[in-house]
Amino acid sequence: METYPEMNEQIKDILTWDHDNPVNLYAAKRIEELEEQNAALEVAVRCGVRPPTVLEVLALKDQHKATWRRRPETFWLARLVAEVGELSLALLGTEPTKPHLHTPDSELKQIAAIAMNWLEMREEKGEL
Protein backbone atom coordinates (compact mmCIF):
# COMPACT_ATOMS: atom_id res chain seq x y z
CA MET A 1 0.00 0.00 0.00
CA GLU A 2 1.30 3.46 -0.87
CA THR A 3 1.49 5.91 2.05
CA TYR A 4 1.58 9.71 1.97
CA PRO A 5 3.04 12.22 4.45
CA GLU A 6 -0.03 14.47 4.13
CA MET A 7 -2.28 11.58 5.15
CA ASN A 8 -0.05 10.85 8.15
CA GLU A 9 -0.48 14.46 9.28
CA GLN A 10 -4.27 14.17 9.01
CA ILE A 11 -4.25 10.89 10.91
CA LYS A 12 -2.11 12.38 13.69
CA ASP A 13 -4.50 15.35 13.92
CA ILE A 14 -7.51 13.05 14.20
CA LEU A 15 -5.77 10.89 16.81
CA THR A 16 -4.87 13.87 18.99
CA TRP A 17 -8.35 15.46 19.02
CA ASP A 18 -9.29 13.36 22.03
CA HIS A 19 -6.66 14.22 24.63
CA ASP A 20 -8.22 11.77 27.09
CA ASN A 21 -7.60 8.71 24.92
CA PRO A 22 -4.10 7.39 25.68
CA VAL A 23 -4.25 4.79 22.88
CA ASN A 24 -4.86 7.46 20.25
CA LEU A 25 -2.15 9.71 21.71
CA TYR A 26 0.26 6.78 21.73
CA ALA A 27 -0.53 5.99 18.08
CA ALA A 28 0.07 9.61 17.05
CA LYS A 29 3.37 9.69 18.94
CA ARG A 30 4.44 6.41 17.35
CA ILE A 31 3.73 7.78 13.87
CA GLU A 32 5.99 10.75 14.70
CA GLU A 33 8.75 8.42 15.95
CA LEU A 34 8.56 6.29 12.82
CA GLU A 35 8.68 9.36 10.61
CA GLU A 36 11.78 10.54 12.49
CA GLN A 37 13.44 7.14 12.08
CA ASN A 38 12.55 7.04 8.39
CA ALA A 39 14.03 10.50 7.82
CA ALA A 40 17.22 9.50 9.64
CA LEU A 41 17.50 6.33 7.58
CA GLU A 42 17.04 8.27 4.35
CA VAL A 43 19.88 10.61 5.34
CA ALA A 44 22.05 7.67 6.36
CA VAL A 45 21.56 5.91 3.05
CA ARG A 46 22.43 9.09 1.14
CA CYS A 47 25.59 9.49 3.27
CA GLY A 48 26.62 5.86 2.99
CA VAL A 49 26.02 4.99 6.67
CA ARG A 50 24.60 1.55 7.36
CA PRO A 51 20.94 1.82 8.44
CA PRO A 52 21.45 -0.52 11.45
CA THR A 53 24.01 1.93 12.83
CA VAL A 54 21.53 4.79 12.59
CA LEU A 55 18.81 2.74 14.29
CA GLU A 56 21.20 1.85 17.13
CA VAL A 57 22.11 5.52 17.62
CA LEU A 58 18.42 6.51 17.62
CA ALA A 59 17.67 3.83 20.22
CA LEU A 60 20.47 5.13 22.43
CA LYS A 61 19.22 8.68 21.89
CA ASP A 62 15.77 7.65 23.09
CA GLN A 63 17.26 6.03 26.20
CA HIS A 64 19.19 9.20 27.05
CA LYS A 65 16.17 11.36 26.30
CA ALA A 66 14.03 9.39 28.73
CA THR A 67 16.52 9.73 31.58
CA TRP A 68 18.48 12.93 30.99
CA ARG A 69 16.36 15.34 28.95
CA ARG A 70 15.68 17.89 31.68
CA ARG A 71 19.30 18.11 32.82
CA PRO A 72 21.34 21.31 32.37
CA GLU A 73 23.79 21.69 29.51
CA THR A 74 26.74 21.22 31.85
CA PHE A 75 25.45 17.70 32.50
CA TRP A 76 25.32 16.99 28.75
CA LEU A 77 28.84 18.36 28.33
CA ALA A 78 30.12 16.13 31.14
CA ARG A 79 28.46 13.04 29.62
CA LEU A 80 29.85 13.85 26.18
CA VAL A 81 33.37 14.35 27.53
CA ALA A 82 33.10 11.13 29.55
CA GLU A 83 32.12 9.20 26.42
CA VAL A 84 35.03 10.73 24.49
CA GLY A 85 37.29 9.52 27.30
CA GLU A 86 35.75 6.06 27.06
CA LEU A 87 36.34 6.12 23.30
CA SER A 88 40.01 6.83 24.00
CA LEU A 89 40.17 3.86 26.35
CA ALA A 90 38.38 1.65 23.85
CA LEU A 91 40.87 2.64 21.14
CA LEU A 92 43.75 1.87 23.50
CA GLY A 93 42.09 -1.40 24.45
CA THR A 94 42.71 -1.14 28.19
CA GLU A 95 41.94 0.82 31.30
CA PRO A 96 44.63 1.11 33.94
CA THR A 97 43.24 -1.86 35.90
CA LYS A 98 41.13 -3.86 33.42
CA PRO A 99 40.23 -4.16 29.72
CA HIS A 100 37.67 -1.69 28.39
CA LEU A 101 34.23 -3.29 27.99
CA HIS A 102 32.99 -1.47 24.89
CA THR A 103 34.26 -1.26 21.33
CA PRO A 104 35.20 2.06 19.72
CA ASP A 105 32.07 1.74 17.54
CA SER A 106 29.90 1.40 20.63
CA GLU A 107 31.46 4.50 22.18
CA LEU A 108 31.05 6.47 18.94
CA LYS A 109 27.36 5.56 18.88
CA GLN A 110 27.02 6.83 22.46
CA ILE A 111 28.74 10.09 21.49
CA ALA A 112 26.42 10.51 18.49
CA ALA A 113 23.32 9.80 20.60
CA ILE A 114 24.32 12.30 23.28
CA ALA A 115 25.13 14.98 20.69
CA MET A 116 21.83 14.42 18.85
CA ASN A 117 19.86 14.66 22.09
CA TRP A 118 21.69 17.77 23.20
CA LEU A 119 21.05 19.46 19.85
CA GLU A 120 17.38 18.45 19.94
CA MET A 121 17.02 19.80 23.48
CA ARG A 122 18.62 23.13 22.45
CA GLU A 123 16.31 23.33 19.44
CA GLU A 124 13.25 22.74 21.63
CA LYS A 125 14.40 25.54 23.93
CA GLY A 126 14.76 27.85 20.93
CA GLU A 127 18.54 28.12 21.25
CA LEU A 128 19.34 26.98 17.70
Per-residue pLDDT of the chain (128 residues; tens, 9 = 90+): 787 888 888 888 888 888 888 898 888 888 888 888 788 778 777 777 777 788 888 888 888 887 877 888 899 899 999 999 999 888 887 656 666 678 889 999 999 999 988 888 888 888 76
Give residue 81's pLDDT: 95
For 99, phi then psi, to 5°, come to -65, 150
Cα–Cα distance for residue pair 105/52, rounded to 1 Å: 12
Contact between residue 87 and residue 111 where contact means Cβ atoms under 8 Å apart: yes
Dist. CA 106–CA 109, nearest whole Å: 5
- Cα separation, 85 vs 97, in Å, equals 15
pLDDT at 29: 87
Q: 120 exposed, middle or buried (CB, 10 Å; 0-12, 13-18, 19+)?
A: middle
pLDDT digit string, tens, across residues 64-76: 887 877 888 899 8
pLDDT at residue 111, rounded to an integer: 94
**Alpha carbons 76 and 68: distance in angstroms, whole number:** 8
pTM for the model: 0.65
